Amino acid sequence: MRSKQAGFRGKNMSLADDESAQTEVVDTIEQARSRIRQWKQAGQSIAFVPTMGNLHAGHLALVKAANESGMRTVVSIFVNPKQFGHNEDLDTYPRTFDEDIAALSAYRVDMLFAPDAAEIYPQGADATTSVHVRGLSDMLEGECRPGFFIGVATVVNILFNVIEPDVAWFGEKDYQQLLVIRKMVQDMALPIAIKSVPTVREGDGLAMSSRNSYLTDQQRKLAVNLYACLQHVVDQIIQGVDYTYAVVHANQELTEAGFLTDYIVVRRQEDLGVPGKHDKSLIVLGAARLDGTRLIDNIPFELMK
Ligand code: PAF
């Protein structure tokens, strides 16, 4: 069992001068609940950042935003088996707990919840009651990765029930996931504000992702083409090019660059519906594979009213 004070020193302490300067690392629901109860009884609010670990600057931007809310900051690290398909990378997904702790030490993290699969799914992931956010879960990523959003919505719902956050932070890199969580919270009347942070990118524009570590040097150089193609689609649409043409063209460009494209689409930001001619808040989303590595990205944009 992992339950200790990790001794993090936060740089950004709005809850200074109490035990919050130390990060408590817990791995059971009971331990997490007992600490949460104390905070709630003291009238404190909780900002939550759920992750699967292998933390990069995108995750840390979420932790920073949570810190800035002035609430207790709780981070979770749990590689959720229920959101991986049978042919996917659950076994090889990067697990870097010690490096993650080191990365978090630059922030104020009041509790790090790092359960194992048996704690979250005592009956097994497949036997657990599932949360299916209908419609939104069944398109795009949901079509390419059947069951993925059921796994995400289920685990986030469990984590929300344990942590009982007032606010939870998600990255816009996983835009469809963000909308799925927002809809779940709305449909289930959960009293949690869902907030987001824009995608954090490498210097050349590649969206930060734990799966970037799978790329060879050669593939890493090619990977930026996904972002470049999406940006090209945005530029063309803003110049008045029909989006169906821009998308077909981007698909060709990506194929020529060596990708296998799952989709490139232009949708409404609000609900990922197909845009009509009066819709102005749009988003281009893409998913493409470089050999075994699947990359996703998106760029939201506004058309002139
Ligand atoms: O975005 C992620 O890292 C995961 O999908 C999440 C939200 C932590 C659920 O496992």
Domain boundaries, the chain: 15-197, 210-299
Q: Is 152 in the pocket of ligand 1 (CB under 6 A)?
A: yes
Query: How far is Cα of residue 127 from the mean position of the Cα atoms in its chain?
Result: 24
Q: What percent of the chain has pLDDT over 90?
A: 91
Reply yes or no on whether the pLDDT at 175 is more than 80. Answer: yes
The protein residue whose alpha carbon is closest to atom 2 in ligand 1 is 51
The answer, yes or no, to whether residue 15 has pLDDT greater than 70, is no
CATH topology of domain 210-299: Pantoate--beta-alanine Ligase; Chain: A,domain 2 (3.30.1300)
Cβ–ligand 1 distance for 282 under 6 Å, the answer no
> Would you say the CB of residue 156 lies under 6 angstroms from ligand 1?
yes
Cα of 83 from ligand 1 centre, angstroms: 9
52 Cα nearest atom in ligand 1: 3
* Distance in Å, CA 73 to ligand 1 centroid: 17
From residue 281, give the alpha-carbon distance in Å to each of 233, 234, 237, 251, 269: 15, 12, 12, 22, 6
Ligand 1 center to 159 CA (angstroms): 11
Distance in angstroms (rounded) separating the CA atoms of residues 157 and 142: 18
59 is catalytic: yes
Question: Would the CB of 155 count as within 6 Å of ligand 1?
Answer: yes
pLDDT given at position 61: 98
pLDDT of residue 256: 96
**Residue with the two structure tokens 């069992």:** 1
Top-level CATH class of 15-197? alpha beta
Indicate the pTM of the whole model.
0.94
Q: What is the pLDDT of residues 229-288, one digit of tens each?
A: 999 999 999 999 999 999 999 999 999 999 999 999 999 999 999 999 999 999 999 999
Q: Is the CB of 80 under 6 A from ligand 1?
A: yes
